[in-house]
A and B are shown apart, each in its own frame.
Chain A
Amino acid sequence: MDLFEHQGKELFARYGLPVPSGEVALSPEEAVAAASRLGLPVVVKAQVHTGGRGKAGGVKLAADLDAVRGHASDILGLDISGHIVRRLWIEEASDIAEEYYASFTLDRSARKHLGMLSVEGGVEIETVAARDPEAIARIHIDPVDGLSQQACHHWVRAARIPEAVADAVAGVLETLYRAYVDADADLVEVNPLIVTSAGEVVLLDSKITLDANSTFRHDDYAAYDATQTRDEREQAAHAKGLQYVGLDGSVGVIANGAGLAMSTVDVVNQVGGRPANFLDIGGGANAEVMSNALEVINNDPAVRSILINIFGGITRGEEIANGIIEATGRVDIDSPIVIRLDGTNAAEGRELLEPHLNDTLTMEPTMLDAARRAVELAGAGAGGVQP
């Protein structure tokens, strides 16, 4: 779950971390009103769940209210790497003397939290890492111990943060780590972490990704969930509790289990087709879940055929077959369906499906055969819609 910059800064502010004052604006008028309250100059910043805003023209300095209005009009509606700007953050301009980089994330390989700090902030950190890996000071933090004051100071020195601000930066990082842990974040990134001409340390940007698995202990996550960027199909699937990722092809995919769903997407590609989505209906395959899945896929205008790939484990073939039969009866499907049913009691399940088979509901014995058939039905050769 990704936070907008302003949501991240509001989270930082709750920990007493220094962030510039600002206000959200959804229109040029609101932007102008916000700027008059904040005092000029201000920075008009696009709020999108992606990086590279500056290069795309999504961050502009405004010295007067006319400029605020102009920039706000220009930035609202802007397409930044596929993300349309619908909200702005109007922020008091900062006087930047130094730009650093700081982040915390989970290092899966080390199985510990990883802090990264660099005096070369304000640019893409991948570029810094590629050019001079030594420019990034890393610290692995054992989640049982947390980040001690001593370790934090050592880390700050290793990053060659100037002595004059070292204590202030260390203080910010200790608090930032606490915020990262408390929020159950996958990532907290501040780029740049600035020092102003007056020598103050300020968090000028925020990128925060939260772990949706920890929603149960965070009441505030519901508000963040409501501002996630999802396309229409993904929103519909999310509302029905389905694990769905929209893709740009023409073969709708339904499978049970994330691994099998991913594998099905692979196989559709391998036989020359293009999947319209990834959809995991989970362990079982009852009529309710199957109807929901079919409905979501049926509403995707790009879909020309649907591949249902189910492997029965504990759930028996008969139950799965009945689920499919009931679901196809409930939902009026526009595209032909190809079923592959295997695993526990697959023979019994196939027998139940047999009388329901026709031109638009067919069955194939293996995953590969089913994928080939679905791709064929989606459109000759190329497999339908190209990206």
Chain B
Amino acid sequence: MSIFVDESTRVVYQGLTGSQGRYYGLLNRDYGTQVVAGTNPRKAGTDVDGIPIFATVAEAAAATGANASCVFIPAPGVRGAVLEAAEAQMELVVVITEGVPAHDEAFLFNKLRRDHPGVRLLGPNCPGIITPGQCNIGITAGHIAKPGGPVGIVSRSGTLTYQALYELQQQDIGVTTCVGIGGDPVPGTSFIDCLAAFEADPETRAVMMIGEIGGSAEEEAAEFIAEHMTKPVAAYIAGVTAPPGKKMGHAGAIVSGGKGTAAAKMEALAAAGARVGQNPTEAGDLMVEIVASL
């Protein structure tokens, strides 16, 4: 078992004809992901290394049975690309692109929730999602993840996710699914969405969570852990010693109400019963202990 993606996931790459899209699309296919199509209105009818290119996601889905999309379109086109994928009823839309305006993210989140509730948006600005041995969508190096569980990973940071996967692999610990939700202001998928899915997944028996300073997503996740999680959680928060950002106005400070610092997040998670590491290595060691005691 896994969450959100498995060996049956069929993926269309929006932007497969671009250099990044092609590079990672083919890497994902080499990993074993069912990369069934790409889109580009100007190159419909051609192919990228045997993968057929269609004008639209809807056409690609009709022809290939694609049920997920991965977006490698430059930031100005992301809003349109995600709406196109949602209208074509993709169950999962993974946006790797960074630099998407926060207003577009807020618009997409609310638009999807209202008009396309069956569509899960992951990202923007995320490394993607990998169910080791089955499906890798995005830019995660697949070979640093050991398949099989029992650990599920959810992370706001790309390189720290790789670090976590690698440390678990070094300890011979497998991963059910690793989700990079991205560090942008309004991610399509939240920590809580992933924690809930891991809680419901029978093969995931422990969860590793990697957060960062800013916002209050980790505090909200802590509340969820306290109330709904029966599975053990190990956590790490980056930015413990980061100086406060240069802020002009004061509205932001009021919204966060004292939340947002690494100390506040670590405290909230510890109070919720999670085991919190002071650095990535320590968090990895904590997960090794947790897995040993399962």
Contacts and interface: CB of A to CB of B under 8 A. Distances in A.
Nearest to A109: B216
Contacts of B102: 106, 184, 186, 211, 213
A25 B7 CA distance: 65
A187 B183 CA distance: 19
Interface string B83-127: 000000000000000011111001101110010000000000000
B225 interface: no
10 contacts: A109-B216, A109-B255, A143-B103, A144-B111, A144-B114, A255-B159, A259-B160, A259-B210, A265-B239, A270-B279
B106 A311 contact: no
A111 B186 CA distance: 6
Contacts of B70: none
Interface stretch (B47-55, B58-66, B240-248): B240-248
Contacts of B198: none
A214 interface: yes
A247 B143 CA distance: 36
Interface string B262-294: 100000000000000011110000000000000
Contact of B160 (A187, A257, A283): A257
Interface in A107-150: 107-109, 111-114, 116, 124-126, 129, 136, 142-144
Main secondary structure of the interface of A (DSSP, over half): mixed
B127 to A, nearest CB: 8
Interface in A302-334: 311-314
B140 interface: yes
A2 B248 contact: yes
Contacts of B252: 105, 186-187
A112 B110 CA distance: 8
Nearest to B157: A259
Q: Which one of B143, B159, B255 has the greatest number of beta carbons of chain A within 10 Å?
A: B159
B85 to A, nearest CB: 17
Contacts of B44: none
B186 A124 contact: no
A104 B249 CA distance: 11
B233 to A, nearest CB: 18
B251 A189 contact: yes
Contacts of A124: 250
Contact of A266 (B111, B220, B243, B279): B279
A20 B250 CA distance: 23
Interface string A187-213: 101000000000000000001110101
Given A106-B102, A260-B159, A111 B109 contact: yes
Closest 3 CB pairs of A and B: A259-B157, A257-B159, A259-B160
A103 B247 CA distance: 15
A147 to B, nearest CB: 14
Given A270-B278, A311-B163, A112 B139 contact: no
B279 A313 contact: no
B185 interface: yes
Contacts of B156: 259
B140 to A, nearest CB: 7
Contacts of A144: 107, 110-111, 114
Interface size of B as a range:
35 or more
B226 interface: no
Given A107-B255, A368-B281, A344 B114 contact: no
Contacts of A208: 248
A72 B253 CA distance: 32
B158 A112 contact: no
Interface of B: 24, 27, 75-76, 99-103, 106-107, 109-111, 114, 139-141, 143-144, 155-163, 166, 183, 185-186, 210, 212-213, 215-217, 220, 236, 238-243, 246-255, 262, 278-281
A319 to B, nearest CB: 13
Given A186-B252, A208-B248, A270-B278, 11 more contacts: A2-B248, A105-B251, A108-B215, A125-B250, A184-B102, A186-B102, A259-B183, A259-B238, A265-B241, A314-B141, A342-B166
A179 B84 CA distance: 28
Given A107-B255, A108-B215, A263-B160, A211 B106 contact: no
Contact of A116 (B183, B212, B238, B251): B251
A109 to B, nearest CB: 5
A100 interface: no
Contacts of A366: 281
Contact of B253 (A126, A136, A260, A275): A126
A262 B249 contact: no
A50 B239 CA distance: 23
Nearest to B155: A259
B103 A51 contact: no
A155 interface: no
A216 to B, nearest CB: 5
B160 A343 contact: no
Contact of A213 (B75, B216, B240): B75
Contact of A189 (B114, B158, B238, B250): B250
B196 to A, nearest CB: 17
B97 to A, nearest CB: 10
A106 B249 CA distance: 13
A269 B250 CA distance: 28
B26 to A, nearest CB: 12
A181 interface: yes
Contacts of B111: 144
Contacts of A108: 185-186, 215-217, 255
Interface string A88-109: 0000000000000001111111
A186 B162 CA distance: 30
A258 B255 contact: no
Contacts of A255: 159
A242 B251 CA distance: 28
Contacts of B186: 106, 108, 111
Contacts of B253: 126
A244 interface: no
A33 to B, nearest CB: 29
